[in-house]
């Protein structure tokens, strides 16, 4: 279950914590939703409107913190 502190979302998966910065709730472009609609008027190469992540956050970036230690159960045979 994710935990949210301010703009940071903290997830735990197996032995790792993942910290991800969420969209800015005061952002003037996306108003905290994190996505903006880009129309062909903004980009001349676009054919139709697309939804892109806002510049106020990066949904593909996160901070990974390993927790706990790895226990080695196998040993080299002598
Ligand atoms: Zn934004």
Between CA 40 and CA 55 the distance in angstroms is 18
State pLDDT tens for residues 38-64: 888 888 888 898 999 999 999 999 999
Q: What is the pLDDT of residue 54?
A: 94
Q: Give this prediction's pTM.
A: 0.68
Q: How far is the CA of 2 from the centre of ligand 1 (A)?
A: 21
Q: How far is the CA of 9 from the centre of ligand 1 (A)?
A: 16
- Write the DSSP string, 4-17: EETTEEEEEETTEE
Q: How far is the CA of 7 from the centre of ligand 1 (A)?
A: 12
Contact criterion met (CB below 8 Å) for 47 and 40: yes
- Give the other-Cβ count within 10 Å of 12's Cβ: 13
Share of the chain above pLDDT 70, in %: 99
22 CB contacts (<8 Å, ≥6 apart)?
Answer: 4, 7, 8, 9, 34, 57
């Amino acid at each position: 279950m994710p935990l949210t502190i301010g703009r940071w979302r903290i997830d735990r998966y197996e032995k790792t914590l993942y910290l991800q910065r969420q969209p800015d709730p005061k952002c003037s472009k996306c108003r905290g939703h994190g996505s903006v609609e880009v129309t062909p008027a903004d980009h001349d190469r676009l054919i139709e409107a697309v939804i892109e992540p806002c510049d106020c956050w990066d949904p593909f970036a996160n901070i990974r913190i390993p927790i706990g230690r790895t226990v080695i159960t196998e040993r080299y045979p002598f």
